[in-house]
Amino acid sequence: MEQQPLRYFDRDLLPHLVYSARLLATFCKADRAGLALTQNATTALNGVIQGHVRICRERGVTPTIVVWDISYGSVKKMANHQFGANVVEIPFQANFLHKLRESPTEEVFLKALEQTIDSADKSWENSLLIIDQTTSNTALNLPVRALAQRAKQAGMLVLVDGAHGLLAQDIALDSDDYENVDMYVSNGHKWLYCPRGVAMLCCAKEELRETTLRQPAVVSHGIDDGYLSRFLWDGTRNYAAQLSLPLVLDHWNRRNPALVRTTMRTRLMDAIQILADLWHDGCVLSQSGTAGTWLFDLASGLLDGRSCRFIHLFDTSSVVSFTDSSTSVVSSTVSSTSMLAASSMALSTSSVNPSSSFDSFAF
């Protein structure tokens, strides 16, 4: 690359990136023409949200964006930044989360969506519903298939934020589970273990690719070309992470992703059992964790007035994060053998200030 940068960027790099994209499409059974690589989920999600607002305005209609109060923080900010006046937030944590203890996950989430749909006497035709496949702060798996089906009946466009999806879940985008999902975003640098800087934006519908997704968040050379080209190049930078995909996918394919998930889940369940025994029987709140994350609810008595309520437990040895009721998160690194230590940490951890800004740092 350093010997002849122009030749590298113009001739060598781009075909290799396309190769990465094609292999990733095969891995998650996506439409080959409908998978674009991006640097991260944030870039892809921005592209969709901006595109939705832009196309609605071009058509002279008012866009609506529907998120959940448990959606990823920056996604809620993206929506509010683009079109704050018409962002609808489903109050799941506020009104429905506690119901997961007694009712099936799918039923509770559908009720929450239903209530929002029924709450307004309006058409949802120009709405974009964003469904987090796995929530970051509360480690819940949303029932994508059922929610997408209901949203489609209401006329909504459906975007799934599957940032935690790749490898942690069996993603077959050509299956019935995703038939009502219009756009699917996932990160390669989470459970797939790529180096940071790999994500995908999938859309099997050409009509959407030429309207909502006509313009990526970063516009560059590829803007007048096809879907993949528009997103492929976002300026001169290090694309090495995306070039790792063939190796990473080959690694997982040879190990059998289904088996990997089973192993992850088994180890996670062992850790959950340790914590449940230590804390109390009923602390495992939801039955819908992924292979790698699960949600705990600590009884208020156990907490003795402290703020920590949800434990977001990651397998693969590394992180337990503690989410208090106002969803600020404190993460602590523990080894898999020191899960027990997590219990005492949970009770002594205080909240970080989520609103601290880098602008005020005095370097």
Ligand X SMILES: Cc1ncc(COP(=O)(O)O)c(C=O)c1O
Interface positions with ligand X (CB under 6 A): 40-42, 72, 75, 132, 136, 161, 163-164, 187
Q: Strands 157-162 and 87-90, how do they pair? A: unpaired
83 vs 191, beta carbon nearer ligand X: 191
**Cα→Cα distances 316→72, 146, 264, 333, 346, Å:** 22, 30, 7, 12, 19
Question: Closest distance between ligand X and the C-beta of residue 204, in Å?
Answer: 21
218 vs 274, beta carbon nearer ligand X: 218
41 vs 173, beta carbon nearer ligand X: 41
Question: Closest distance between ligand X and the C-beta of residue 40, in Å?
Answer: 3
Sequence-separated (6 or more) residues with CB below 8 Å from residue 20? 37, 242, 243, 245, 246
Residue 112 burial (CB count, 10 A)? 24
Q: Strands 293-297 and 64-68, how do they pair? A: unpaired
Sequence-separated (6 or more) residues with CB below 8 Å from residue 195? 189, 240, 241, 244
Question: Closest distance between ligand X and the C-beta of residue 73, in Å?
Answer: 9
Question: Closest distance between ligand X and the C-beta of residue 75, in Å?
Answer: 6
Q: What are the two backbone dihedrals, phi and then psi, of residue 333, each rounded to the nearest 5 degrees?
A: -90, 130
237 vs 254, beta carbon nearer ligand X: 237
Contact 261, 170 (CB under 8 A): yes
Number of residues that make up the chain? 363
**Cα→Cα distances 7→1, 4, 14, 204, 222, Å:** 8, 6, 11, 32, 18
Q: Which two tokens stand for residue 35?
A: 């998978």
The crossing angle, in degrees rounded to 10, of helices 257-278 and 339-348 is 60
164 vs 309, beta carbon nearer ligand X: 164
Question: Closest distance between ligand X and the C-beta of residue 136, in Å?
Answer: 3
132 vs 234, beta carbon nearer ligand X: 132
Contact 127, 99 (CB under 8 A): no
164 vs 209, beta carbon nearer ligand X: 164
Question: Closest distance between ligand X and the C-beta of residue 189, in Å?
Answer: 6
